[in-house]
Amino acid sequence: MHAAASKIQSKWRQVFSCQCFQRESAEQDRRTKRERLVSAISSLQQLWRLRQKRRERRWQRDHDRVVETTPYDAVLAFDSLAEFLSSGEIEFLQKAESQLEVAKECRHRIVAVVGLFDKGKTWLTNKLFGVNLPSGKLCTTKGLSFLWIKERRMLVVDSAGVQSTVSYRAQAVDAIHDAQTSESLMFEMISRVAHHMVFVVNDLTWFEQKYVAMLHQKYIQCKQHKELIVVHNLRNTTNVQEAKQLFRRQVTQCYDGEPSHLGQLIFTADSGEGAPPVHHVGVCYEFSAAGDEFNARNRDYLLQSLEHGNKLGSNIVLADLLCAELSRLLPKFVNVETTEPETSVSPGPMPLVNFVPETSDADARGDAYASCGKICIHLPQKNARLSTKTRGVISPLGEIIAHDVSFDPIVNVFDRAINTGVKRFIRVECPGVVEDDVEWEELPNGVKISINKKPPIEEHSVQPVQPIRQHHGVWEREFLFDHADGRFELCEEEADLENGVLTVVLKKSFQPRKGRLQGKARSRALRITEGQPTPAPPSDCASFDVVLETAAVKMSDLG
């Protein structure tokens, strides 16, 4: 009986324990489900709040764009180099209420925002400086636009961008080539005048890398310690991990350098000892998780870099600075031509560019801009005109290429061993050149060669059936050789011009002249008699005898 009761109690305890465990498991499951539900609801609420914030920011952006836009303080209306050479002037427009003085000296820190067409240059300017410049695919920047940030003493330069669309109302080849030349001129001028350069890209392809390398090499060649900043506008990237992977693939794996400890998507590329570094900063789509993660911090980093990079800037007159740089750059892009056939390409002075202020109060245009002056070209001769050095022609493959009309011959310099020593030959390929077109000038351990090649076809008096491709102009070059290579003397009698190849020969001297002092001149007292001229004192140096000549005489005596 007792055993049966114990068995029943044991069975009951097992059932009770199992029921308790099941109740606890069910309660735990309900608690877990409730926590998951609360977490999901919280996540949805957080996402909804973020979405609402982004919608509010979008609405605010669209509202600001509709209600009020920030105008540029000044615009240099430069769209075409061919038009500038034809008219001889560029109009400088200024906003009526602007505080920027283009013709007065002021301390500026010039920040240039450059890049290819439609990469987000104006959008970046708006975000950095809290302005509302017109941006978007339908809003394109014309010429050079200047925005004056008075509290920071920064003059922001915005450009139309490289590879912008051209008009086909003119001949297609001329329009495309003129756009290429105009962009090159503006790109070169901006890189010279700016204290800071911000290059905006989307996906970093080899084409963008080429332009970044070109800018950096200009700084190295000019010995300017300007740090280039490349902003990667990943405007189609919304995911945080995707942004990190893209930046790693396009930047950190392609350049030597170190990532910054101040934030992610920030990298400094090492360009070698003595060369200024290149900074890479990434931003993402503004209204996304990636944008919330990186954009604000990276924009602050970029703005601080601009603030501390050059705190003083320069005391400049903006109009005079632009004129000076245009005067320096025009010889690289244009030729001075006259109507006289024998002097169609002038080797004389190049044109000067200066600023002519507006004397009378100009009427404001429909966009409230008024002309404050013009940048004008002054030709060195009365009957002269300017033409671009390069012309657009179509290659046999159908590609539009730039044909440089300036004379730049192929030059080869080499040494040749002969019985009496070594001679250095300079050969210049100059077909169509006659002897009267060549001049030379002997330099210390070298020679200067000048060639004035006249155009074989007078384009003013003919009607071209196909684009005329010819080279003409003045070419000069100094050939100076290192003294460690030896002493070179010009051999005038061996200079020759045959079959369109100019040959100039220099003889190399292996044995330097050596000598020694032999004997001493005795000093003697000079008696100066009153009324007589003072005799010249004798030299206290011995005569200088050439050792090689003495040795040669001794050898002949022995013989």
Q: What is the pLDDT of residues 468-510, one digit of tens each?
A: 777 777 888 899 888 888 888 889 888 999 999 999 999 887 6
Across the chain, how many H-helices and E-strands are there? Answer: 9, 27
Confidence of residue 425 (pLDDT cuts 50, 70, 90): very high
Task: Using a pLDDT cut of 90, give the percent of the chain over it.
Answer: 16
* CA 399 – CA 452 distance, rounded (Å): 31
Between 93-97, 144-148, 377-381, the lowest mean confidence (pLDDT) is in: 377-381
What is residue 360's predicted lDDT score, i.e. its pLDDT? 64
| pLDDT tens digits, one per residue of 18-46 | 888 888 888 888 888 888 888 888 888 88
pLDDT of residue 299: 92
Q: How many residues does the chain have?
A: 559
Name the percent of the chain lying above pLDDT 70.
78
Predicted confidence band at 280 (pLDDT cuts at 50, 70, 90)? very high
Higher pLDDT pick, 363 / 50:
50
pLDDT in the model for residue 559? 46
HSE at residue 153, side-chain half, CA atoms within 13 A, is: 14
pLDDT digit string, tens, across residues 156-200: 998 876 555 544 444 545 677 777 788 888 888 888 888 889 999
Query: What's the pLDDT score for residue 366?
Result: 47
pLDDT at 235 over 80: yes
Q: Does domain 97-324 have CATH number 3.40.50.300?
A: yes
What is the average pLDDT value for the chain, to the nearest integer? Answer: 78
Which pTM was predicted?
A: 0.63
Is 139 or 87 the better-scoring residue by pLDDT?
87
**pLDDT for 21:** 82
Q: Helix, strand or coil for residue 430?
A: coil
Per residue in 285-326, pLDDT (tens digit) is 888 888 889 999 999 999 998 888 777 778 889 999 999 999
> Where exactly does CATH 2.60.40.790 map onto the chain?
407-458+470-559
Return the pLDDT at 527: 45
Find residue 222's DSSP bridge partners.
none
Predicted local distance difference test score (pLDDT) of residue 340? 54
pLDDT of residue 397: 42
Task: Determine the pLDDT at residue 345.
Answer: 44
Work out the average pLDDT over 512-523: 57
The tens digit of pLDDT for each residue in 252-278 reads: 988 888 898 888 899 998 877 778 888
Say if domain 407-458+470-559 classifies as CATH 2.60.40.790: yes
Ranges of CATH 3.40.50.300 domains, the chain? 97-324
d(CA 385, CA 454): 16
Among 261, 288, 111, which Cα is nearest to 200's?
A: 111
Q: Is 451 exposed, middle or buried (CB count within 10 Å of its CB: 0-12, 13-18, 19+)?
A: buried
Distance from C-alpha of 57 to C-alpha of 227, rounded to nearest angstrom: 33
Q: Which residues are within 8 A (CB) of 149 and not within 5 positions of it... i.e. 6 or more apart?
A: 129, 155, 156
Q: How deeply is 103 buried, as exposed, middle or buried, from its count of CB atoms within 10 A (0-12, 13-18, 19+)?
A: middle
Give the CA diameter of the chain: 168
Tell me how far the alpha carbon of residue 373 is from its chain's centroid.
28
Token pair 């320096």 in the structure block, residue: 328
CB atoms within 10 A of CB 154: 22
| CA pair distance 324, 84, nearest whole angstrom | 16
- The answer to whether residue 105 scores a pLDDT higher than 80 is yes
The reported pLDDT for the residue numbered 53 is 74
